[in-house]
Amino acid sequence: MFSREPDELLVRFTESVSFDQRLALDDIRQSQAHVQMLASVGLLTNDEAARLTHALEQIAEEIRQGQFQFRTELEDVHMNIEQALIDRLGDLGRKLHTARSRNDQVATDLRLWCRRAIDHTCQLIGQLQRAFVRRCDQDWEVILPAYTHLQRAQPVLAAHYWLAYCERLERDRQRLQDAKRRLNQCPLGTAALAGTTLPIDRHLVAQLLEFQEPTANSLDSSADRDFVLECAFALAVLALHLSGWAEEWIIWATGEFGFLQLPQELCTGSSIMPQKINPDPLELIRGKAARVVGNLTTLLVLVKGLPLAYNRDLQEDKPPVFDAFDTINDCLQIATAVVSGAQLDRQRIAEGLECGYLDATALMEYMIRQGVPQRQAHHWVGQLVRLASQQGVPLAQLELEQFRQVWPQADSGVYRVLGVRQALEALKSYGSSGPEQVRQQVQKWKARLGME
Ligand code: ARG
C-alpha cells in the first residue's frame, strides 16, 4: 500500500492540517525560538539563523493574510510550514528540524495555544462578571425570593443572586489560571521521546517562549496531555455553571414567573404563535453545555490506556479542546449581552413577594433570640404558617392572640421581624443577603474587577 502514492482515503484519514492549522502561528513562534537556540549553541550559524527567522516571518505574514495554502497531503501544520521553508531556502530549511520531533513540537504548540486561549476566556469571564456587578447597582432595591428545591425559601437581594453567579465564575477563572500555571512548562527539545545527543539548551528555549521552565522528563512530556484535560474540565464546569444560570433565567422569564424580560433583540418569535418570545440564546447556552461536557469526555477516553510516549491517538485531542474553548467563548459573550440587556419586572416580583412565607425563618430566629429552642421554634412557626395559609394571609396579618395560641410568650415584637423587607434587612451574618453584607461584597467585586 505504501509503495504507491497513499490513497485518498488514507490521506484524509490521517491528516490533521484541516484543524491543526489553528496552531500555525504558535508553531512559527516556536520554530523561531528553536532557531535562535540552535544558533546560540552553534548548531546553526548566525547567518543561517537570520535567514531562517526571516523566512519564518514571511510565512507567518502569509498565514495572517490568509494567503498561505495549507496542503492536505502534507498531513499536518508542522509539515506544511516546514515544507514552505524548504521551498524557500532549500537545504537550509532542512536544518530546522534539528533536535526536534513533531512529538515535542505539537506538545509545545498546543501548550502555547492553550495558554493564550485561557487568557482570552478569562477576559470574557471578567466581562460577564462586570455585567452582573453593574446590575447590582441597577437592581439594588429589588428583593427576590430565593429557592431550595425550587420552592420559595427566603428573601434575598437581587444583587445577592448576581454576586452568586460572580463567585461561581470566579472559581472557573481560577481553575483556568491554575491549569495555566501547571501547563507553563516547555516540552520542546524532548525530541521523539528520549531527548537528544545534540548540545541543545532547553532552558533557553523555555525562556524565549516565556515558559516557566523546561519539562523534566522527555518520556512523560511528549505524551502528557493533562493540560488539555484540565482546560476541558475547567471549561466543562464553567459550561455547567452557565447552564444553571440559563435555566434559572428561562424559568424567571416564563409567564408563570414573570420576573424577567429578556432583551427582545436576542430572542426569537414563533412562526405560528404571535405572542411568543422564546429565550433561544439561554436555551442554547444550556444546550451547549452538553457539547462541552462531551468534549471533556472525548478527551478523557482518548488518553485512557495509552502507553508512553507519543501515540497517534493524540492527534485527536485538538478538535475537542478547540471546540470547548470556542463554544464557551461564544456562550460567555452571549451571556454578557443577555445579562446587560435583561429587565427585572419589579412590580410583578413585588406583588408575589408576600406569598410563600419567605419570612418564616426570620420569625423562627426571632423566637430563638427570645430563648425558644430551635426545634421548638421551628415546630411553632410551622403551625403558624399552617394557620395563616388556611386563612389565606401572610404571617404579618395574624392577630397577636393567634400567635399566642401557638407561642404563649409572643409579644408585638413579632411584627418587627415579619414581612419580606424586614426579614431581609435583619440578615446579618457574613456572606448573607443582608443589605450591609451585600453592599460590602459589591465593593469587593468592583475593586477586584477594576470597576472603580
Ligand atoms: N499531527 C500530529 C499530532 O497532532 C503531530 C505529531 C505526529 N507525530 C508522529 N510521530 N506521527 O499529534
Region label for 273, one of left (φ > 0), alpha (ψ between -120 and 50) or beta (otherwise) = beta
User: How far is it, in rounded angstroms, from Cα 196 to Cα 213?
Assistant: 18
**Pocket-testing residue among 105, 222, 312, 316, ligand 1, by greatest number of atoms within 8 A of Cβ:** 312
Cell numbers at 197, concatenated: 545527543
**Pocket-testing residue among 11, 103, 105, 322, ligand 1, by greatest number of atoms within 8 A of Cβ:** 103
pLDDT at 265 over 90: no
Mean pLDDT value across the chain: 96
Question: CB atoms < 10 A from the CB of 238, how many?
Answer: 25
pLDDT at 358 over 70: yes
Ligand 1 centroid vs 443 CA: distance in angstroms? 50
Sign of CA dihedral 107, 109, 110, 111: positive
Over residues 285-304, the mean pLDDT reads 98
Ligand 1 centroid vs 321 CA: distance in angstroms? 16
User: How far is it, in rounded angstroms, from Cα 21 to Cα 42?
Assistant: 31
Cell numbers at 187, concatenated: 516540552
Minimum-distance ligand 1 atom for the alpha carbon of 16: 1
- Angle ∠(32,36,37) on CA atoms, nearest 5: 115
Over residues 209-233, the mean pLDDT reads 97
Question: What pLDDT is stored for residue 398 in this prediction?
Answer: 96
**Pocket-testing residue among 11, 76, 81, 221, ligand 1, by greatest number of atoms within 8 A of Cβ:** 76
Answer whether 106 contacts ligand 1 (Cβ < 6 A): yes
160 is a catalytic site residue? no
Cell numbers at 283, concatenated: 436555551
Domains (range + CATH), the chain: 8-98 (1.10.275.10), 103-351 (1.20.200.10), 360-448 (1.10.40.30)
40 is a catalytic site residue? no
Answer whether 114 contacts ligand 1 (Cβ < 6 A): no
User: How far is it, in rounded angstroms, from Cα 352 to Cα 297?
Assistant: 43
Q: Are 198 and 115 in contact (CB under 8 A)?
A: no
Q: Which residue's CA is the closest to the ligand 1 atom numbered 3?
A: 315
Question: What pLDDT is stored for residue 335 in this prediction?
Answer: 98
pLDDT at 322 over 90: yes
Q: Which of 18, 54, 120, 270 is catalytic?
A: 270
Question: What pLDDT is stored for residue 270 in this prediction?
Answer: 76
Over residues 97-113, the mean pLDDT reads 98
What percent of the chain shows pLDDT beyond 70? 99
User: How far is it, in rounded angstroms, from Cα 341 to Cα 335?
Assistant: 10
Cell numbers at 90, concatenated: 532549500
Q: Please, which pLDDT band fits residue 266 given cuts at 50, 70 and 90?
A: confident
Residue type, 390: Q
Minimum-distance ligand 1 atom for the alpha carbon of 75: 1
Residue type, 12: R
Answer whether 77 contacts ligand 1 (Cβ < 6 A): no
Answer whether 314 contacts ligand 1 (Cβ < 6 A): yes
Minimum-distance ligand 1 atom for the alpha carbon of 310: 10
Q: Please, which pLDDT band fits residue 6 given cuts at 50, 70 and 90?
A: low
User: Which H, E and C letters describe 182-208, residue by residue?
Assistant: HHCEECCCCCCCCCCCCCCCHHHHHHH
Answer whether 102 contacts ligand 1 (Cβ < 6 A): yes
Question: What pLDDT is stored for residue 4 in this prediction?
Answer: 60
Answer whether 327 contacts ligand 1 (Cβ < 6 A): no
Calculate the dihedral angle through the C-alpha atoms of 209, 74, 193, 316, rounding to the nearest 10 degrees: 90
Answer whether 20 contacts ligand 1 (Cβ < 6 A): yes
Question: CB atoms < 10 A from the CB of 66, how many?
Answer: 6
Ligand 1 centroid vs 161 CA: distance in angstroms? 47
Question: What pLDDT is stored for residue 2 in this prediction?
Answer: 52
SS3 content of the chain, % helix, strand, coil (to 5): 65, 5, 30
pLDDT tens, position by position, 134-186: 999 999 999 999 999 999 999 999 999 999 999 999 999 999 999 999 999 99
Q: Distances from the Cα of 383 to the Cαs of 76, 147, 377, 401, 405, in angstroms?
A: 72, 21, 10, 14, 10
Ligand 1 centroid vs 292 CA: distance in angstroms? 24
pLDDT at 406 over 60: yes
Ligand 1 centroid vs 235 CA: distance in angstroms? 25
pLDDT at 26 over 60: yes
User: How far is it, in rounded angstroms, from Cα 37 to Cα 297?
Assistant: 38
Q: What is the DSSP string of 315-383?
A: GGGHHHHHHHHHHHHHHHHHHHHHHHH-EE-HHHHHHHHTSS-TTHHHHHHHHHHTT--HHHHHHHHHH
Q: Are 261 and 349 in contact (CB under 8 A)?
A: no
Pairing state between β 213-214 and 143-148: unpaired
DSSP single-letter state for residue 75: -
Comparing CA positions, the residue from 356, 326, 363 lying closest to residue 232 is: 326
Higher pLDDT, 375 or 278: 375
Q: Which of 3, 149, 271, 429 is catalytic?
A: 149
pLDDT at 385 over 60: yes
Cell 389565606 belongs to residue: 392
Minimum-distance ligand 1 atom for the alpha carbon of 77: 1
Answer whether 103 contacts ligand 1 (Cβ < 6 A): yes
Question: What pLDDT is stored for residue 5 in this prediction?
Answer: 65
Q: Phi first, then psi: what are they for 157, rounded to 5°? A: -70, 145
Question: CB atoms < 10 A from the CB of 429, how many?
Answer: 8
Q: Please, which pLDDT band fits residue 267 given cuts at 50, 70 and 90?
A: confident
Cell numbers at 358, concatenated: 419567605
Question: What pLDDT is stored for residue 273 in this prediction?
Answer: 78
Question: What pLDDT is stored for residue 3 in this prediction?
Answer: 54
Cis, bond preceding 191 (omega within 30 deg of 0): no
pLDDT at 306 over 60: yes
Answer whether 80 contacts ligand 1 (Cβ < 6 A): no
Cell 445577592 belongs to residue: 160
pLDDT at 49 over 70: yes
Q: Please, which pLDDT band fits residue 276 given cuts at 50, 70 and 90?
A: confident
Element containing residue 54 per DSSP (H, E): helix 46-64
Answer whether 107 contacts ligand 1 (Cβ < 6 A): no
